[in-house]
């Protein structure tokens, strides 16, 4: 029975992850217009596709540099100083990263778009009809959105490591005559470099594979590999070219993810670490100026788009009202962009997310046990298995969606129109997070408790139920909530495989954002607020019950 449970998650990966990727690869060689592998030559020789690859790398690198510039001062403040409401400020700074990409796009549109809050305020104050802020579909807005989305990674990865560094190392350097700047450059910075490098690479991977924010905020002028894959499928129907671009995206992302895993391991080097609270300092002098700057950044860049989203969703011709929410509730299918009313997208998203959480837990628990079992007997096997289950994290959801279109189009696996395919795709996206959430909890269980239960005559099932299950329960709630939140905001795979009569909230937001008219725009913002509320509640639940209660 145990072996069957262990085989199920491996079989799931084989059928719904590796098989679609192999189908994409075979498509490249089989169905090109000018013969086998012609699509590769077409992509390699076309300067436009080389530009798309270059722009994907360039905007990822610039976004990473800007995010580090904004995040490192924030990480320093939270790591080295104590101040009032520190936990609340840190929660505000971390919240953007858990927001779905369509909520981020809607927030910046609500704040800085032609119909945004700042333009509305200007028109109200001046009485003029012009909108002076015209940043929609510009590179600057895209880069700002990337900073908004990723700065919390610097806070968590670098800030968490920085908070535990022994500050006495700096004190020794200053006693020996080094200035504070020199002590930072020669002592602190080298120790921080593994964490900074790890955070930088992860941010680059996220920005390199960005899709929703670029599709909505940047427009067709700034297509990345992800956007171009979607364009080739939806606009041109050129699946071989899309498959080649997906393979390039997959190879680059998986390679960078592998390097990231090795860099992350370097942050566990043997250092004499200290308790975070034992070396926190009081704010004074330049530190207070730093606090003002960091708090201003959090409010103006991280909080303002979300506040503007709520404010604009409540706006109406008569002032503040719920017209957008009522329109979402009362609009019938004949007036909707889909074959169903938009309010049904909330139901659909909740159903898919619940199914995803259930399936991800059903697969993630035996997968975590399998990895842990191999770790106690063969460390190399455990590393290989953990890498195997982490691989979907390095694969874009859009590539998975393309793989499903290609792999499940014909008998005996003609599942492309099946309603259960969407929660399966979402489960693949969420499964790495579930496994990573469960493994630390599973490894914390003292095996002597199991041995004692066996000595007292308990069967294997009783041992699990009486010993493992109570300890695992908190981790399972966290993992299930993670899977739920990941699914409810997923956009890339859903855009390709969703059925017209079964749209989810991100799809409705994207569709209505692209339509003219205040009513359509209001529906998009109202739906974004509902999605933001669900994700925020999920995030708060995770923070409240997660096993790791460390400062970062």
Give the pLDDT band of residue 552 (cuts 50, 70, 90): very low
Task: Work out whether the CA dihedral 422, 426, 431, 434 comes out positive or negative.
Answer: negative
Domain spans in the chain, listed from the N-terminal domain onward: 1-21+331-552
pLDDT score for 550: 42
Mean pLDDT for the chain?
85
pLDDT score for 1: 57
- Report the chain's C-alpha Rg in angstroms: 25
Which of 270-279, 411-420, 445-454, 526-535 shows the lowest mean pLDDT across its residues?
Answer: 270-279
pLDDT score for 18: 94
Distance between CA atoms of 119 and 97, rounded to whole angstroms?
26
Distance between CA atoms of 159 and 75, rounded to whole angstroms?
4
pLDDT score for 182: 75
Whether the pLDDT of residue 335 is over 50: the answer is yes
Average of per-residue pLDDT across 403-415: 89
**Dihedral angle computed from the Cα positions of residues 157, 161, 163 and 166, in that order, rounded to the nearest 10 degrees:** -170
Whether the pLDDT of residue 337 is over 70: the answer is no
Distance between CA atoms of 216 and 106, rounded to whole angstroms?
8
pLDDT score for 404: 94
Pick from 160-164, 283-287, 443-447, 521-525 the range whose average pLDDT is largest.
521-525
pLDDT digits (tens, 9 = 90+) for 18-67: 999 999 888 876 655 566 567 788 888 889 999 999 999 999 999 999 99
Contact status, residue 434 vs residue 364, Cβ threshold 8 Å: yes
Half-sphere exposure of 250 (CA within 13 A, CB side): 23
CA distance to 23, 249, 330, 408, per residue, from 36 (Å): 14, 21, 52, 21
Q: Which CATH number fits domain 1-21+331-552: 3.30.70.100, 3.90.850.10, 1.20.120.1730, 1.10.3720.10?
A: 1.10.3720.10
pLDDT score for 35: 60
Angle (CA) 523-353-89 rounded to 5° is: 70
- With a pLDDT cut of 90, the percent of the chain lying above it is 38
pLDDT digits (tens, 9 = 90+) for 250-286: 888 888 887 877 766 555 544 554 555 556 777 777 8
Whether the pLDDT of residue 551 is over 80: the answer is no
**Sole residue written with tokens 């096997």:** 381
If one compares 382 and 479, the residue with the highest pLDDT of the two is: 479
pLDDT score for 162: 85
Distance between CA atoms of 480 and 542, rounded to whole angstroms?
10
Structure tokens at 546: 């997660």
Which of 180-194, 388-402, 522-536 shows the lowest mean pLDDT across its residues?
Answer: 180-194
Which of 73-87, 115-129, 472-486 shows the lowest mean pLDDT across its residues?
Answer: 115-129
**Sole residue written with tokens 């049904």:** 344
What DSSP string runs through 356-401? HHHHHHHHHHHHHHHHHHHHHH-HHHHHHHHHHHHGGGGS-HHHHH
Q: Cβ contacts of residue 180 below 8 Å, gap of 6+?
A: 170, 174
Contact status, residue 353 vs residue 487, Cβ threshold 8 Å: yes
pLDDT score for 236: 86
Structure tokens at 312: 């604009």
Whether the pLDDT of residue 218 is over 90: the answer is no
Surface-to-core class of residue 259, CB atoms within 10 Å of its CB (0-12 exposed, 13-18 middle, 19+ buried): middle
pLDDT digits (tens, 9 = 90+) for 113-158: 888 889 888 887 887 878 788 888 889 999 999 999 999 999 988 9
């Amino acid at each position: 029975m145990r072996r069957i449970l262990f085989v199920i998650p491996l079989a799931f990966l084989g059928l719904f992850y590796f098989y679609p990727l192999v189908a994409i690869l075979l498509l490249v060689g089989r169905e090109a217009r000018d013969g086998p592998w012609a699509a590769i030559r077409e992509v390699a020789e076309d300067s436009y596709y080389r530009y798309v690859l270059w722009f994907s790398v360039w905007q990822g690198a610039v976004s990473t540099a800007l995010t580090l510039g904004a995040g490192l001062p924030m990480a320093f403040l939270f790591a080295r100083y104590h101040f009032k409401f520190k936990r609340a400020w840190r929660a505000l700074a971390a919240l953007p990263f858990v927001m779905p990409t369509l909520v981020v796009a809607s927030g910046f549109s609500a704040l800085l778009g032609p119909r945004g809050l700042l333009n509305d305020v200007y028109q109200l104050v001046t009485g003029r009809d012009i909108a002076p802020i015209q940043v929609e579909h510009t590179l600057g807005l895209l880069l700002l959105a990337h900073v908004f989305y990723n700065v919390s990674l610097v806070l968590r990865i670098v800030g968490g490591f920085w908070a535990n560094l022994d500050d006495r190392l700096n004190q020794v350097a200053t006693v020996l005559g080094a200035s504070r700047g020199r002590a930072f450059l020669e002592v602190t910075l080298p120790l921080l470099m593994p964490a900074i490098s790890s955070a930088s690479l992860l941010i680059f991977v996220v920005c390199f594979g960005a899709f929703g924010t670029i599709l909505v905020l940047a427009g067709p002028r700034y297509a990345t590999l992800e956007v171009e894959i979607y364009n080739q499928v939806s606009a041109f129907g050129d699946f071989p070219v899309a498959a080649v671009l997906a393979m390039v995206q997959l190879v680059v992302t998986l390679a960078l993810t592998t390097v990231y895993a090795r860099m992350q391991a370097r942050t566990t080097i043997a250092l004499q670490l200290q308790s975070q609270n034992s070396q926190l300092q009081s704010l004074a002098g330049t530190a207070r100026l730093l606090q003002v700057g960091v708090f201003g950044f959090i409010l103006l860049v991280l909080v303002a788009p979300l506040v503007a989203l709520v404010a604009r969703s409540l706006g109406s011709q008569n002032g503040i009202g719920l017209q957008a929410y009522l329109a979402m509730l009362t609009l019938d299918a004949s007036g909707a962009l889909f074959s169903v009313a938009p309010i049904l997208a909330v139901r659909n998203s909740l159903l898919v997310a619940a199914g995803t959480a259930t399936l991800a837990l059903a697969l993630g628990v035996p997968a975590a046990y399998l990895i842990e079992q191999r770790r106690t007997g063969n460390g190399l096997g455990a590393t290989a298995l953990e890498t195997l289950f982490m691989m979907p994290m390095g694969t874009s959801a859009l590539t998975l969606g393309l793989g499903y279109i290609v792999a499940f189009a014909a008998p005996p696996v003609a599942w492309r129109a099946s309603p259960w395919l969407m929660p399966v795709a979402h489960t693949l996206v969420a499964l790495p997070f579930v496994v990573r959430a469960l493994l630390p909890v599973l490894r914390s269980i003292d095996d002597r408790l199991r041995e004692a239960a066996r000595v007292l005559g308990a069967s294997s099932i009783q041992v699990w139920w009486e010993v493992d299950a109570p300890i695992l329960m908190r981790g399972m709630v966290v993992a299930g909530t993670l899977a739920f939140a990941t699914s409810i905001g997923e956009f890339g795979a859903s855009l390709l495989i969703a059925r017209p009569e079964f749209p989810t909230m991100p799809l409705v937001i994207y569709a209505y954002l692209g339509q003219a008219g205040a009513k359509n725009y209001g529906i998009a913002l109202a739906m974004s607020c509902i999605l933001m509320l669900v994700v925020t509640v999920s995030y708060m639940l995770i923070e409240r019950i997660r096993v790791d209660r460390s400062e970062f």
